[in-house]
Amino acid sequence: MDVLAETARALLDGGPVILPTSMDRGDWVSGEHDAALARLDGVAREDAPGRPPALDLAAARWALGRLAHLAQRVVARADDAATVEAEFQKHRGLGAPGPAHAESVWSVDLALRHLESIERAARGLIPADPLRIEIWTLARDWPFSAAQVPRAAGCESDSPAIPECVQEHPSLRRMYLDRVTAAQNVQHGQVPWVTAALSQDCGRTPGWLAPRGPGLSSPKTAAIRSSESGQSPSPDEPPA
């Protein structure tokens, strides 16, 4: 079974994907998945503003493999944490893109724009679970795809490192600003150039970006944290 091709088809069709109990890289090597990735790219390109960057197939393959691996680990929970972490570490560097450029950011996003769905499915796990740590690591490394993924506990105030190509490429820039606005993600929104661009869009600083004091999260993030802890949001952190 070509795991990448099956995963790409599931992303396109919105249906389920049947994943193996272990992620052997031998399942990733048929040429079938390149055609599925090209189709995924074509559909995403139709919905993107302006003219997106060219497809980097190697980067897209890597990201799709990471997404499939995370999805498999959401349901395959029998192994101990050390085994899962070692598996993640093994797959993390296999074919990983180099420094971010416009083509790799766009191509990785074809899969990792769905990272938030995996994060949602894993919220019942403890923060120290390797799956949650891996999700947060990918969100940190590929922030263009992670505007809707809450930051790791204890890192909520950290400013994401947005690649310069996102600011410089017109299509990526517009997509990213729209995602940050939809998520009302304060950490992403407080990146200086993002704040300036959103303020220009609105004619003023958006209300959800107003200063909230040290350690306070956006309304949407506060609601997620509260649901995980079983507590209601504080008066300073109203529900979304």
**For 28-76, how does the pLDDT look when each residue is reduced to its tens digit (9 = 90+)?**
555 677 888 888 899 999 999 999 999 999 999 899 888 888 888 888 7
Answer whether residue 117 shows pLDDT above 90.
Answer: no
* Residue given tokens 């389920």 in the structure block: 16
Question: What is the model's pTM?
Answer: 0.79
Answer whether residue 106 shows pLDDT above 90.
Answer: yes
Nearest to 201 by CA among 222, 180, 227: 180
Residue 80: per-residue pLDDT: 85
Q: Which range has highest mean pLDDT (73-77, 123-127, 165-169, 236-240)?
A: 165-169
**Percent of the chain residues past pLDDT 70, beyond the cut:** 72
CA 65 to CA 5: how far, in whole Å? Answer: 10
Residue 178: per-residue pLDDT: 96
At 180, is the pLDDT very low, low, confident or very high (cuts 50, 70, 90)?
very high
Q: Out of 22-26, 27-31, 94-98, 230-234, which region has the weakest mean confidence (pLDDT)?
A: 230-234
CA 144 to CA 194: how far, in whole Å? Answer: 12
Residue 188: per-residue pLDDT: 92
Answer whether residue 179 shows pLDDT above 90.
Answer: yes
Answer whether residue 79 shows pLDDT above 70.
Answer: yes
Average pLDDT over residues 202-220: 69
Q: Tell which wins on pLDDT, 53 or 83.
A: 53
* CB environment 125-144: b (16+ within 10 A), e (fewer): beeebbbbbbbbebbbbbbb
At 103, is the pLDDT very low, low, confident or very high (cuts 50, 70, 90)?
very high
CA 108 to CA 88: how far, in whole Å? Answer: 17
Q: Is 151 in contact with 115 (CB distance < 8 Å)? A: no
Residue 77: per-residue pLDDT: 77
Q: Where are the alpha helices (DSSP H) in the chain?
A: 3-13, 32-47, 57-75, 81-92, 102-112, 115-121, 130-141, 164-168, 170-183, 186-189, 192-202, 219-229
Q: Average pLDDT over the chain, rounded to whole?
A: 80
